[in-house]
Amino acid sequence: MLQLNYIRENRDTVIERLGVKNFKDLNLVDEIILLDEQRRKIQSESDALSAEANSSAKQIGELMRQGKKEEAEAVKSKSSGYKEQIKNLLADLESKEKELNDKLLHLPNLPHTSVPGGVAAEDNETVFEHGAIPELTEDALPHWELAAKYDIIDFELGTKVAGAGFPVYKGKGARLQRGLINFFLDEAEKVGFKEVQVPIVVNEASAYATGQLPDKEGQMYHVTQDDLYLIPTAEVPITNIYRDVIVKEEDFPIKHCGYTPCFRREAGSYGAHVRGLNRLHQFDKVEVVQIVHPDKSYEVVEEMSQYVQSLLQKLELPYRVLRLCGGDMSFASALTYDMETYSTAQKRWLEVSSVSNFETYQSNRLKVRFKNAEGKMQLAHTLNGSALALPRIVATLLENNQTDNGIKIPEVLVPYVGFEYID
């Protein structure tokens, strides 16, 4: 959530940056500023009346001690309506604050000045490419056919058990999944991320705090009877560990990693581009999260991008890095890098990671603060990244590494899976 004082003091900048993100309801900015003025006016009136009521109470007490009963009664009569007036003002204040907060929740984060303009994925900026795209034979197979050929992923069985988008991993396919998860967690630990195991459901307050609500409620599975949400990413429970926490400046950077299954309804997704592992309702992912000093967050987002790239290099996968344009960014992000690997059999790029800096957008909702060198409370910056999401990694590993002898496992994974080929 954007900070109210920043909106108030930088109206034109806020509107200009929201335009880069293709946010259409720009009138919301002025509505927020007007509501804030009304709120502050009511607050001022309430404070003044409360001060007057307190002064009158003291005056009445003093007059009674002096035996000036008639004068005390006159002051009491004059101030008799203060309590009801204050009660009404506080009710108005509560109403204005709720309306103001509701409007603030519908205002997305401002994109960083480095974010390019644009409306969709084709407007994203390619900032780096690495690795040569493998040359496959004419009879090369897409991963869903390889999965059937080697009996390692059963999409039909998953449909039987749960529905489309819930595959069953079998044999070496299941071991590949487990090996990748352990590899990603071990690599994260090497660079200082502390592993946590977190719930895979969250309450409404947690979903609001990291920005999934009210923006993405239609994409999350909702356990209505208990009012819980299945997590779309481990970012949500991990970041919420620090909700309403005052952290110590000397503890920065706070670094966590965690493995969880993730659940997304993916409403409206259909067609060839979502076939196989390309888009699932349930998938596994290792997430990395950082809470950092505001002065360091853009240095950290570059470090996190480099870290994810190092994983792709160790897996020997060709990839590219995109800086997302304003129109393709998430509601809460100020800057996002996407990493995509090339699926040789499908002849297209597949997103496998997003690394984002949220600046104070999440921490303002979370109330993650620290006391700065001047002794003042300040909001921290939050960042996260997929390191990595498994489905499309598995898809490209299967497709790009198919040989006459089977599917060759990258050298770095062999100790984790216990075999060199899927055959």
Q: What token pair was written down for 62?
A: 């003093």
Residue 219 forms part of a structural domain: yes
Looking at the fold, whether 100 and 209 belong to one and the same domain comes out as: no
Residue 195 forms part of a structural domain: yes
Q: Is 351 annotated as a binding residue?
A: yes
Q: What token pair was written down for 357?
A: 């800096």
Cβ contacts of residue 64 below 8 Å, gap of 6+?
72
Kindly tell me if the per-residue pLDDT of 267 is higher than 70. no
Say if CB 262 and CB 231 are below 8 A apart: yes
| DSSP of 125-174 | EEEEEESPPPP--TT---HHHHHHHTT-EEHHHHHHHT-TT--EE-THHH
Q: Is 354 annotated as a binding residue?
A: yes
Residue 113 forms part of a structural domain: no
Kindly tell me if the per-residue pLDDT of 359 is higher than 90. yes
Q: Is 392 annotated as a binding residue?
A: no
Cβ contacts of residue 251 below 8 Å, gap of 6+?
none
Closest CA to 318 of 347, 346, 354, 343: 343
Q: Is 126 annotated as a binding residue?
A: no
Looking at the fold, whether 359 and 243 belong to one and the same domain comes out as: yes
Q: Residue 191: helix, strand or coil by DSSP?
A: coil
- Percent helix / strand / coil, the chain, rounded to 5: 45, 20, 35
Domain encompassing residue 78: 4-105
Q: Residue 106: helix, strand or coil by DSSP?
A: coil
Looking at the fold, whether 214 and 289 belong to one and the same domain comes out as: yes
Looking at the fold, whether 101 and 157 belong to one and the same domain comes out as: no
> Tens of pLDDT along 209-264?
999 988 777 889 999 999 999 999 999 999 999 999 999 999 999 999 999 999 99
Q: What token pair was written down for 217?
A: 């409620």
Find the CATH number of the domain harbouring 165: 3.30.930.10
Kindly tell me if the per-residue pLDDT of 27 is higher than 80. yes
Residue 116 forms part of a structural domain: no
Residue type, 75: V
Looking at the fold, whether 392 and 293 belong to one and the same domain comes out as: yes
Residue type, 102: D
Q: What token pair was written down for 332?
A: 């809460």
Structural domains of the chain, count: 2
Looking at the fold, whether 285 and 331 belong to one and the same domain comes out as: yes
Looking at the fold, whether 315 and 384 belong to one and the same domain comes out as: yes
Residue 371 forms part of a structural domain: yes
Residue 111 forms part of a structural domain: no
Q: Residue 357: helix, strand or coil by DSSP?
A: strand
**In the chain, how long is the greatest CA-to-CA distance?**
107
Would you state the pLDDT for residue 270? 56
Looking at the fold, whether 165 and 218 belong to one and the same domain comes out as: yes
Q: Is 310 annotated as a binding residue?
A: no
Cβ contacts of residue 214 below 8 Å, gap of 6+?
105, 106, 208
> Tens of pLDDT along 48-89?
999 998 999 899 888 888 988 888 888 888 888 888 999 999
Find the CATH number of the domain harbouring 64: 1.10.287.40
Give the global pTM: 0.92
Q: Is 264 annotated as a binding residue?
A: yes
Looking at the fold, whether 159 and 244 belong to one and the same domain comes out as: yes
Would you state the pLDDT for residue 272? 55
Residue 267 forms part of a structural domain: yes
Count of CB atoms within 10 A of residue 13's CB? 12
- Secondary structure of 246-267 in the HEC alphabet? EECHHHCCEEEEEEEEEECCCC
Residue 78 forms part of a structural domain: yes
Looking at the fold, whether 101 and 241 belong to one and the same domain comes out as: no
Looking at the fold, whether 71 and 198 belong to one and the same domain comes out as: no
| Of 105, 129, 159, the domain-final residue | 105
- H or E element in which residue 398 lies: helix 390-400
Share of the chain above pLDDT 90, in %: 88
Kindly tell me if the per-residue pLDDT of 273 is higher than 70. no
> Tens of pLDDT along 342-353?
999 999 999 999
Q: Is 353 annotated as a binding residue?
A: yes
Q: Is 138 annotated as a binding residue?
A: no
| Of 51, 70, 105, the domain-final residue | 105
| DSSP of 290-347 | EEE-GGGHHHHHHHHHHHHHHHHHHTT--EEEEEPPGGGS-SS-SEEEEEEEEETTTT
> Tens of pLDDT along 83-142?
899 999 999 999 999 999 999 999 999 999 999 999 999 999 999 999 999 998 888 999
| Of 70, 105, 140, the domain-final residue | 105
Return phi, psi of residue 275, to 5°.
-70, 150
Looking at the fold, whether 317 and 293 belong to one and the same domain comes out as: yes
